[in-house]
Structure 1
Amino acid sequence: MRSRLQTLPISLVALLFFVMTQAEAAPVTYDVFVNTSAVSGTSGFLSFQFNPGGADAQSATVTISNFAFTGGSLAASSTNSGGASGTLPSTVTISNNALLNELFQGITFGSNFSFRLTFTGPAIDTPGGSSSGSAFGLSLYDSGEMPLLTTDPNGTVLTILFDPNGGRAVLTFPRDENGSPSVVTITEQAAAVPEPATLLLVGTGLVGLGVVRGRRRMKE
């Protein structure tokens, strides 16, 4: 006796597979909190970058949303390079389509700021077939563009690395040479999983279509 899935017409099997794979593919989302109380009142800059590791890196986009800060203020103007568009505190998108893709934002630091990162695109949904990954980075600088609150000489306080096969690594840096904890707290949000009732509804609907087709054939 064949399984119910095997008795479905090929087109319905393909549709069911598409629905199942679409349900599994989901954006990668992080909530980020940055403690800047140690430099509150200091003028400086934020740098958000999302860059490919090589020319063959799969395309991807990061959306920066829900930007909020306590104390301090953002400068009226910012600089977008490469695939970056938008301005804070509104939604910003950065695609990894150039060598340098960056939002460079002036800021007077308050006690903290926070935002959400959402990564989408082929490099996230269907990774593979490339020898290069991509990297997201957040850097903090003072008014002279010297690193703030990090031991990284480039000013980076947070890096998220995406390897060509879909692996991910999140790196933060100590605040100072004494090994003080990073100023960054990052939390990955669980991918949305379809409710069992929704999957059952989809499955029942497709099976129902198969039954209707079967009855029509019997009548012919």
Structure 2
Amino acid sequence: MSERSDSKHETIREQLRAEVLALSPGERLPPERHLATRLGVARMTVRQAIGGLVREGIVTPVHGKGNLRSADPMRLRVQLWSFTETVRAQGLTPSTQPLEWDDDPEPPPAAVEFFAARPGGGPAPRTLRRSRRLRLGDGTPLALEEAWFSADRVPPLTEEVLAGSLYALLREAGVLPDSGEESVTVGLPTEEEAKLLAIAGTRPLLRLTRRAFAGGEPVEYAQAALPGDRFELAFPLIRDPS
């Protein structure tokens, strides 16, 4: 590709970037053919420019809707947070799509190890309950969650429970988490994750792993995959008194 062609593509992308940033989050871009006609360039040039904006994270292609202005990142405090409360604080309407729930015959080794580390060396639970849910805000997929709980402490899971708040169930069971730790890594989505979260396979994910306790007892091991460009992580800092 010549320098002149590179310059042309960059000029078109800058024009489109300015137009996209003037839109409201979730607003749809005009069709490619309309943009090409108005800008006086080939449709392929427009497509390449939009592809660059997708990689920048300011445009989100959504099947059946077209190319949308990406939502502004949600501020997510890394703490024992409620998804529902976090989404509502952003002015969005939260909803949940239950995907799977069962007594897991083969939980991941990390979950087994977590629940085996009980205070006083008590016996590990023989069964772990598992839930898998898609969390949404205003209908947009925001997180894919999978969590495990001790069957000794948590009653059987149902679709109705999963569509609401799992922490409400834990509160009723007397094991609402009061402490824990959360680790964060970054990676690319699997094909299934990309489809469920409605993102391109090249978009990075934030992968959060939570280990939560109630009164020192392990009660929740959870993994969540979040589109990296939809969240801004905030880490509360507290000086160690020692």
With structure 1 as the length reference, what TM-score do the two structures score? 0.28
With structure 2 as the length reference, what TM-score do the two structures score? 0.27
**Going by fraction, where is helix more abundant, 1 or 2?**
2
**Going by fraction, where is strand more abundant, 1 or 2?**
1
Larger Rg computed on CA atoms = 1
